[in-house]
Amino acid sequence: MKSIKPFVRIPLIICLLLISSGLIAQGNWETPEAINSPVPRHENAFVKVGDKFYLLGGRGIKAVGIFDPASKTWSEGAPVPLEISHFQAVSHQGLIYVMGGLVGGWPSETPLSHILIYNPLMDSWLIGPEIPAHRQRGAAGAVAYNDKIYLVCGIVNGHTSGWVSWFDEYDPATNKWSELQDAPRARDHIQVAVVNDKLVVAGGRKSGYLGQGLEATIAETDIYDFNAGKWSTLPSPAGDIPTQRAGGTAVAVGDEMIIIGGESGTQVAAHSEVEALDITTGKWRSLPLLQRGRHGTQVLLSEASLYIAAGCGNRGGSPELDSFEAYEIPGLTGTANLPVVAGQAALSESQIDFGSTRPYSTKAVTVELSNTSGNQAIPIVYMVSSPTMEFKADFPYKLPYVLAPGKSVPFKVYYTPTGTQPDEGTLFIKVMDRGKLQPLELELKGN
């Protein structure tokens, strides 16, 4: 890894505007102080969890890049379990969710079939629930809102065809996937944001449309109102994105959704434009350009600054970047960078004595599994009883299942004896822990 120059503050003439109205004072993108640089990559994600930043995925198999603002250093974590690209990572309850991405090499990538979950505390990946086969696609927008994750638009056949306007909701609390009303138009190579209960979809393209690679960009801005439960499109041309491009990244700040970077057929260099849509007025405005145009990465908001790293410097696949820049938002009051604290799985009972039960009849007892501490959700990997003939657990949701902080899930344990002799068994519950912890054990007795 090569070193980069220390952060230098440049004097600015700033006209401070009200953040509450969705307006951000004009500043400049600058290079944050860092001791080293991340591994170059593109078509990756970049997301904040707790007090650290994480670069994930991209072309090829790459380790997770981890930036610690406190020590100003980049380090490497676990490699991805497979090549994943073209996705917008979602930070939710101390975990990182990956869905709506592409697998394999250009131009015939296939959609990611399962939700992938990265646990930053354990530096470990988990293959999560399967995405319904008929809703799998990549290069889609993904965002968390009200403890659910939403996936919108995308492409089915790599970079060639199969553009979709699908809009889906995934509920980690139930492992339920719901199909919602389609967006007004299909598009791919997008990232999205929720501003004031409204999902904003802008930019993107239809990759491969009429044989075009980068030219089939989309101007219109579509908005889903979660409160009204319906889509609308901003009037053209005022509501259209000023600089049409795909492969940009989106973030919500105040009343605005900001689109950063991207690529198009109009220029070789990746776009450096930064444009903001005020959701209350429906009007766009320009913000300071990036230091280095880039596409195929993600922006994050930390405290009062936007950060963007990696990506590609020209349209297409090269050069991959290792640069890192930030935009401070004067007047914005940011939230503190609170560290992630692991949850603790606990059972409401340590043992169950079913007592005397007639052979081949069944007795059930309800038990609660809880996430009792911390601020991180706990992925439950498996639940199995031994012996399996007499004892069986019935968990209400398909495993793996993610148990939110401070939440409990009741489930039933059944006992069906085959005779009158005493029976003993154990229910084992395994959480995501890289094999460092013994499973939770529930002792079982009967007859």
Kindly give the parts of the chain with pLDDT less than 50.
Answer: 1-25
Superfamily name with CATH number, domain 19-328: Kelch-type beta propeller (2.120.10.80)
For residue 98, the tally of other CB atoms under 10 A from its CB is: 24
Tell me how far apart the terminal alpha carbons of the chain are, to the nearest angstrom: 65
Q: How far apart are CA 201 and CA 351, in angstroms?
A: 51
| Cross-strand partners of 110 | 103
Can you give the three-state secondary structure of the chain, one letter per residue? CCCCCCCCCCCCCCCCCCHHHCCCCCCCEECCCCCCCCCCECCEEEEEECCEEEEEECCCCCEEEEEECCCCEEEEEEECCCCEECCCCEEECCEEEECCCEECCCCCCEECCEEEEEECCCCEEEEEEECCHHHCCECCEEEEECCEEEEEEEEEECCCEEEEEEEEEEECCCCEEEEECCCCCCCECCCCEEECCEEEECCCECCCHHHCCCCCECCCCEEEECCCCEEEECCCCCCCCCCCCECCEEEEECCEEEEECCECCCCCECCCCEEEEECCCCEEEEECCCCCCCECCCEEEECCEEEEECCECECCCCCEECCEEEEECCCCCCCCCCCCCCCCEEECCCEEECCCCCCCCCEEEEEEEEECCCCCCEEEEEEEEECCCCEEEECCCCCCEEECCCCEEEEEEEECCCCCCCEEEEEEEEECCCCCCCCEEEEEEEC
Predicted pLDDT at 336: 76
What does CATH list as the number for 345-446? 2.60.40.10
Domain ranges of the chain: 19-328, 345-446
Predicted pLDDT at 379: 96
Predicted pLDDT at 4: 37
Predicted pLDDT at 26: 64
Residue at token pair 């991959």: 320
pTM of the model: 0.93
